[in-house]
Structure 1
Amino acid sequence: MTRVLLVDDQHLIRAGLSMLCDAQPDIEVVGEADNGREAVTMAARLVPDVVVMDLRMPGVDGITATSRILAERPATRVLVLTTFGDDDHLYPALTTGACGFLLKDAPPTELLDGVRRAAAGDSPFSQDVLRRLVHRAVHARAETPAPVDGLTAREQDVLDLVAEGLSNAEIAERLHIGVTTVKTHITSLLTKTGSPNRVRLALFARGL
């Protein structure tokens, strides 16, 4: 059972997400918070597997809340739900350690898949969000990482598919290898590229 904490200052969004998640046999909503300060307190008390985090909230915003939650419990997976108006917040949220980014208007199946993938250690993100992250990185003049020596051909294949936003299972199917093997390659790639998470690895693959 995946334990989820919902964080959003809009009650209707929280209610919709709660109904969606509670209808699933493998997902349990253990709490709801309407601001970042409350989210930090509840995350420490409830110890959720996944925190579904809004970015723009009054008082303590989602970026600060994410940073504080991960500082106290690094194993927590923070999945950001963003809107088109959050471009200025996406890259900062990435640097704090959010594991994935989905749009609030994503189909219910995509949102549920994102929660499950986040809990399983993947980093789900929509292609549109990834494009905006890359665009933001370019305009922020992020430094281009130096080429990495020692990548195997298979690691390069996996890296290319991570950049496309594929999950571990999808990569395994595409390359005709086991999911465990994919995880091994990704762990190696994170180490070799110095990327703290899968989303940063995807940006690295795109030269940012």
Structure 2
Amino acid sequence: MISIVIVDDNFVARRGLRSVLESDTGIFIAGEASNGQEAINLCNSVDPELVLMDIRMPDMDGISATQAILNKKPETKILMLTVIDDPCILANAINAGAAGYLIYGHFSPQELIKAVKTAVAGKAISLPPVDDLFGAAQGASSPDIDIWQRLTQREKEVLNLIGTGCENREIARVLNIEEKTVKNHINSIYSKLGVNTRQEAVLCVLCSRFKNGKARSAGMSG
């Protein structure tokens, strides 16, 4: 059974998340916290497998709490659950060690449960997919500027589906291609990004896209 701590300063949000997650008999809610410091104390006490962590909270934000929890318990999986779609903030969360993010309004109850199980299995999660968050890349771009541009359109589609927790068979069905072709695309993605696992591939692109989103925003504001 997967033990989870829910961290959000909004009581109604915590109740809603608990209701959805407890509908799955394989999930146990070990506790709730309303800010980052409470989350740290609770995790030290109940040692959950996964934490659903809000980003903006009073007293201590979710990113600071994520760093503190992972410093003591690096095996803990943390998913950032937020209304924020700011690339700079999400970049900080990923760099702090979060396994991924879920943005309110972009996932169903079933997808939330699937995301939890996917993260606990050691895979990265991005809902919405990174391509939806930033929009499809336009025009040519140097690989040194954005590694997302190293991938073909089909490879991007495969990686987006990996980010939502899909296995090879599901990806093949969604894209209407052979499972062997999916494996070939994944191997090509690994080679182009210089990674060895699905989680590394998703996080590699997330960090790249977030950093470039930050750079573009800074350039526009100047």
Q: TM-score when scaled to structure 2?
A: 0.69
The reply on whether 1:167 has 2:170 as its aligned counterpart is no
Bigger drift between 65-74 and 191-200 goes to 191-200
Deviation sequence 1:67-112 (CA, Å, 0-9, x none): 1111111111101112146544211101111111111222111111
Instruction: Give the Cα–Cα distance (whole angstroms) in 2 for the partners of residues 85 and 125 of structure 1.
Output: 12
SS for the counterpart of 1:24 is coil
Matches within 5 A, 1:35-184: 35-84=35-84, 86-105=86-105, 106-127=107-128, 131-132=132-133, 144=145, 161-164=158-161, 165-167=163-165, 169-170=167-168, 174=172, 176=179
Rounded to whole Å, the distance in 1 between the matches of 2:206 and 2:85 is 21
Cα deviation code 1:16-41 (max 9, x no counterpart): 11111112111110010000011111
Superposed displacement of residue 200, structure 1: 2.2
Q: 1:102–1:129: 8 Å Cα contact kept in structure 2?
A: no
Counterparts of 1:171 and 1:190, CA distance in 2: 22
| Shift, 1:160, TM fit | 6.4
Q: Which runs of 5+ in 1 are unaligned?
A: 136-142, 147-156
Residue 200 of structure 1 is matched in structure 2 by 203
2:63 aligned counterpart, secondary structure: helix
Report the AA paired with residue 15 of structure 1.
R
Task: Report the count of equivalent residues.
Answer: 194
The one-character-per-residue Cα deviations of 1:158-192 (angstroms, maximum 9, x if unpaired) are 78622453535146752525xxx89x969x76993
For normalisation by structure 1, the TM-score amounts to 0.73
Whether the 8 Å CA contact 1:103–1:129 is kept in 2: the answer is no
Higher mean displacement: 57-66 or 98-107: 98-107
Q: Is the 8 A contact 1:158 1:171 kept in 2?
A: no
Query: What runs of 5+ residues in structure 2 fail to find an aligned partner?
Result: 137-143, 148-153, 173-177, 213-222
How far does the alpha carbon of each residue in 1:110-155 deviate from its partner, in whole angstroms, 9 at most, with x for none?
11111111111121212355544689xxxxxxx6478xxxxxxxxx
Question: For the structure 1 residues 110 and 66, does the alpha-carbon distance in structure 2 shift closer, same or farther, using more than 3 Å as the test?
Answer: same
Aligned match of 1:22: 22
Partner of 1:150: none
The answer as to whether partners of 2:85 and 2:133 remain within 8 angstroms in 1 is: no
Question: Identity, % of aligned pairs?
Answer: 28
Counterpart CA distance in 1 for 2:67 and 2:32 is 18
One-letter amino acid of the counterpart of residue 119, structure 1: V
Give 1:11 shift. Answer: 0.3
Residues 102, 170 of structure 1: CA spacing in aligned structure 2 closer, same or farther, 3 A cutoff?
farther
> Does structure 2 retain, via aligned residues, the 8 Å contact 1:21–1:112?
yes
Change (3 A) 1:158 1:74: farther
Q: Which amino acid aligns with 1:71?
A: N
8 Å CA contact 2:30–2:48 kept in 1: the answer is: yes
Larger Rg: 2
